[in-house]
């Protein structure tokens, strides 16, 4: 823009250009004829060039470390420049607290996750500040212990963003793919997922404790399957049932509210594995979990039409809670009553109604 020439970067050698004593890292066994090749060169700012070559930094900026930094940076650039123009995704974030605790869920964090996981890039054509669609419920009072007013206010905040801002984007055909991130109390994650329908393709993300990252593992096709166990209870003709989701942990059935203990019950848990916090470690396992729940809902629709309300008590990670809400079909599935666990007790937090005509504010 200025039509002036000036230096933006300098070529720096990883292994020094010659073997003289003053050549930084020049004593490395790399042959002299290979030292000017691209694999031994880095593009650095002048200050960084001076920094890696100064005497006091040579023990820290070793050949192995510089090669590793160069490789990581080149892999990142290859990823970015290899993205197809149609590989954009609209990022939607639900940011909340869980008993006063929060996690990092910034624009940079979500961008890295979608690029690494699916080769997509975050695209925010309708976002005022380029931050995507964000629902922040951290400032809503009453999170711990949560009461009815807290659940209602949070759900209204979710509705304001998803039904209006995202709805406008859909009406303008500006969104084809959505990447969903969330950190909040479990009932809110389910409700959030229920507001993201099948109009567009969706990828759900979660924070993995084993890696401290929101990105799904690269090239990992391992999968954990899930099974459903049914117990009809003593009142087989009741219009209500219980769904226990034992995924990241196990719901202790002795802690069920008294009103639920004699109802027909369905239990979902990992096949051949113990429920654990990182049991859903790949997209394939999340797909298997969602497929199991869809099959169960189809079974209820076909064989248990009398079930009108399903009380859901869940020990699940973020992705599983979001997936549960998203697969609920208000036209055919029973209403889902989502419970919250506090102080060793399960309490009714909110309900996903069956009838699509029920207003959003009609929450328990």
Q: Report if residue 172 sits inside a domain.
A: yes
Same domain for 184 and 93: yes
Residue 222: per-residue pLDDT: 85
Q: Report if residue 364 sits inside a domain.
A: no
For 158-196, the pLDDT digits (tens) are: 998 887 766 666 666 666 788 999 999 999 999 999 998
| Residue 141 clears pLDDT 70, i.e. is over it | yes
Q: How confident is the model at residue 234 (pLDDT cuts 50, 70, 90)?
A: low
- To the nearest whole percent, how much of the chain has pLDDT over 70? 89
Residue 361: per-residue pLDDT: 40
Residue 122: per-residue pLDDT: 81
Residue 358: per-residue pLDDT: 40
| Residue 69 clears pLDDT 90, i.e. is over it | yes
Same domain for 326 and 274: yes
Residue 111: per-residue pLDDT: 87
Same domain for 247 and 199: no
Same domain for 340 and 245: yes
Q: Which residue has the tokens 């050949």?
A: 63
Residue 236: per-residue pLDDT: 61
93, exposed or middle or buried, with CB in 10 Å at 0-12, 13-18, 19+? Answer: buried
- What is the number of domains present in the chain? 3
Q: Report if residue 138 sits inside a domain.
A: yes
Same domain for 99 and 63: no
Same domain for 253 and 185: no
| Residue 202 clears pLDDT 50, i.e. is over it | yes
Q: What is the dihedral of CA 251, 319, 358, 166, to 10 degrees?
A: 160
**What pTM does this model have?**
0.77
Same domain for 232 and 194: no
CA atoms within 13 A on the CB side of 60: 7
Same domain for 69 and 92: no
Task: Point out the least confidently predicted range of 27-36, 48-57, 210-219.
Answer: 210-219
In sequence order, which residues have a C-beta less than 8 Å from that of residue 156 and are 6 or more positions away? Answer: 360, 361
- Do 332 and 243 contact (CB within 8 A), yes or no? no
Q: Report if residue 158 sits inside a domain.
A: yes
| Residue 71 clears pLDDT 80, i.e. is over it | yes
Q: How confident is the model at residue 233 (pLDDT cuts 50, 70, 90)?
A: low
pLDDT: which is higher, 315 or 220 = 315
Same domain for 185 and 117: yes
| Residue 19 clears pLDDT 60, i.e. is over it | yes
Q: Looking at residue 95, which CATH number applies to its domain? A: 3.40.50
- To the nearest whole percent, how much of the chain has pLDDT over 90? 57
| Residue 132 clears pLDDT 70, i.e. is over it | no
- How wide is the angle at C-alpha 327 spanned by C-alphas 343 and 227, nearest 5°? 70
For 329-357, the pLDDT digits (tens) are: 988 999 999 999 988 899 999 999 876 44
| Residue 153 clears pLDDT 80, i.e. is over it | yes
Domain region containing 293: 226-352
Q: What long-range pairs does 23-32 form, CB within 8 A, spacing at least 24?
A: 24/52, 24/53, 24/58, 25/58, 25/62, 25/63, 25/66, 28/63
pLDDT: which is higher, 212 or 227 = 227
For 261-287, the pLDDT digits (tens) are: 889 999 999 999 999 999 999 999 999
Answer with the one of 64, 81, 98 that is the final residue of a domain: 81
| Residue 294 clears pLDDT 50, i.e. is over it | yes
Sign of CA dihedral 248, 252, 258, 261: positive
Q: Report if residue 123 sits inside a domain.
A: yes
Answer with the one of 138, 170, 204 that is the final residue of a domain: 204
- Do 349 and 364 contact (CB within 8 A), yes or no? yes
For 86-130, the pLDDT digits (tens) are: 788 888 899 998 888 888 888 888 888 998 888 888 875 544 444
Q: Report if residue 210 sits inside a domain.
A: no
Residue 79: per-residue pLDDT: 76
Same domain for 138 and 24: no
Strand partners of residue 258: none
Residue 359: per-residue pLDDT: 41
Backbone angles phi, psi at 358, to 5 degrees: -70, 125
Same domain for 69 and 102: no
Residue 86: per-residue pLDDT: 75
Q: Give the integer Cα–Cα distance in Å for 340 and 330.
A: 21
Q: Report if residue 363 sits inside a domain.
A: no
The average confidence (pLDDT) of the chain is 87
Q: Give the integer Cα–Cα distance in Å for 239 and 289.
A: 25
Q: Report if residue 358 sits inside a domain.
A: no
Same domain for 53 and 105: no
């Amino acid at each position: 823009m200025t039509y002036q020439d000036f230096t933006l970067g300098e070529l720096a050698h990883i292994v020094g250009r010659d073997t003289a004593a003053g050549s930084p890292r020049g004593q490395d066994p790399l042959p002299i004829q290979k030292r000017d090749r691209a694999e031994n060169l880095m593009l650095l700012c002048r200050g960084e060039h001076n920094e890696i070559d100064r005497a006091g930094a040579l023990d820290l900026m070793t050949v192995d470390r510089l090669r590793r930094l160069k490789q990581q940076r080149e892999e990142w650039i290859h990823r970015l420049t290899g993205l197809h123009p149609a590989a954009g995704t609209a990022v939607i974030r639900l940011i909340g607290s869980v008993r006063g605790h929060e996690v990092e869920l910034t624009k940079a964090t979500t961008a890295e996750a979608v690029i690494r996981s699916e080769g997509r890039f975050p695209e925010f054509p309708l976002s005022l500040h380029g931050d995507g669609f964000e629902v922040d419920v951290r400032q809503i009072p009453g999170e711990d212990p949560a009461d009815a007013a807290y659940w209602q206010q949070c759900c209204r905040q979710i509705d304001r963003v998803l039904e209006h801002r995202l709805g406008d984007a859909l009406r303008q055909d500006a969104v084809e793919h959505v990447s969903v991130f969330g950190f909040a109390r479990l009932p809110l994650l389910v409700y959030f997922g229920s507001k993201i329908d099948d109009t567009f393709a969706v990828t759900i993300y979660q924070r993995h404790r084993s890696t401290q990252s929101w990105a799904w593992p690269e090239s990992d096709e391992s999968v954990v399957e899930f099974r459903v166990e049914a117990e009809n209870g003593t009142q087989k003709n009741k219009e209500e049932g219980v769904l226990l989701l034992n995924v990241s942990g196990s719901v202790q059935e002795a802690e069920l509210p008294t009103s639920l203990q004699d109802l027909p019950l369905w239990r979902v848990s990992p096949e051949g594995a113990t429920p654990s916090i990182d049991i859903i470690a790949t997209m394939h396992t999340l797909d298997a979990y969602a497929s199991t729940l869809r099959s169960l809902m189809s079974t209820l629709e076909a064989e248990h039409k009398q079930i009108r309300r399903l009380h859901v008590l869940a020990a699940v990670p973020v992705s599983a809670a979001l997936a549960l809400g998203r697969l609920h079909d208000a036209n055919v599935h029973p209403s889902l009553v989502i419970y919250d666990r506090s102080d060793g007790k399960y309490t009714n937090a909110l309900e996903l109604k069956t009838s699509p005509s029920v207003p959003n504010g009609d929450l328990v």
